[in-house]
Each structure stands twice: as structure tokens, then as C-alpha cells.
Structure 1
Amino acid sequence: MTPQQAAPLARCAAVFEPGDPARTGRIAFFDPAGDPPPQVPGGEPGVADLVVPHGDGLAVRTLPVLRLTPARALPVLL
């Protein structure tokens, strides 16, 4: 992934989704406001139930996510 492709995802929040076996874990990128994250090569679009800020507390919301392997996510995270 080029830096130009990674830049839009750098503005998103990220959460690690563990897998079984462990090598199947993914990094899910999401916009806490609920907008779909930008698409990048190798990304898997989907949805996830996530805990996000809501008013003075927290709420569980189903949000659109883009999943990447840790190796593909590394340029975004750096």
C-alpha cells in the first residue's frame, strides 16, 4: 500500500479483532461518526459492533468497517 492510499485511513479509528487461530486477526478501521471508511487495496469491507463515545458515556453501535491484515495495516498505523 502506498502512502497516498494509506493517508485516508489514517484519519479513522482502529481496533484489533483477534482471530482463531491467532494469525487470522485483523485490524478494523472505522469512523466513530458512522460514515463508511475509505476503501483501499486489500481491504475487506464489513460491519462490526463497537463501543463508541455517546454523550457523556459510551454506546454499542454497529458501524461499517474496513478490515486489513496487520501487515497491510502497518503503513496506516505508522
Structure 2
Amino acid sequence: MSDKQLTELLSLINQRQDRLAFACKEIADWIDSQGDRPVAGKIRDSLKAVEADEVLVKKTLTSLTLERPLPRFR
């Protein structure tokens, strides 16, 4: 798999993860509005891990999209 294909795949996975996280937040908000704060809180707590990894994922994707020179062999 080329760097370009890998970057495209990881970007797609990241986009889908963002969409799923957004949907889960909306579900948590709806559950919260129905009066079940403990369940909504559990969903939000689970999403904290996704949010914590966001910076690392974006940094990794950025480093893959940069054009790197080929390594020199001695």
C-alpha cells in the first residue's frame, strides 16, 4: 500500500470516527433531555478517549501527507 493510499484510508477512517462521535454526542444530548443524566454521562465519558486521541491522529495524518524524500542508503 502506498503512502497516498494509506493517507486516504486513514483520513476516511478519521472522518467516519468524527461523524460517529458527533452522532453519539447528539444521542447523549437527547438522552440527557429525557432525564437520564447517568446514561448520557457514560456516553460522554466514553467519547473523552476519542477526543483525547484527536490531536495525535491529526498530527499523524499531517505527517503522512507531507512529501518526504526517499531514504538514502549507504
TM range (shorter): under 0.3
Compare CA radii of gyration and give the structure with the larger one: 2
TM-score, L = length of structure 1: 0.22
Which protein is richer in helix relative to its size? 2
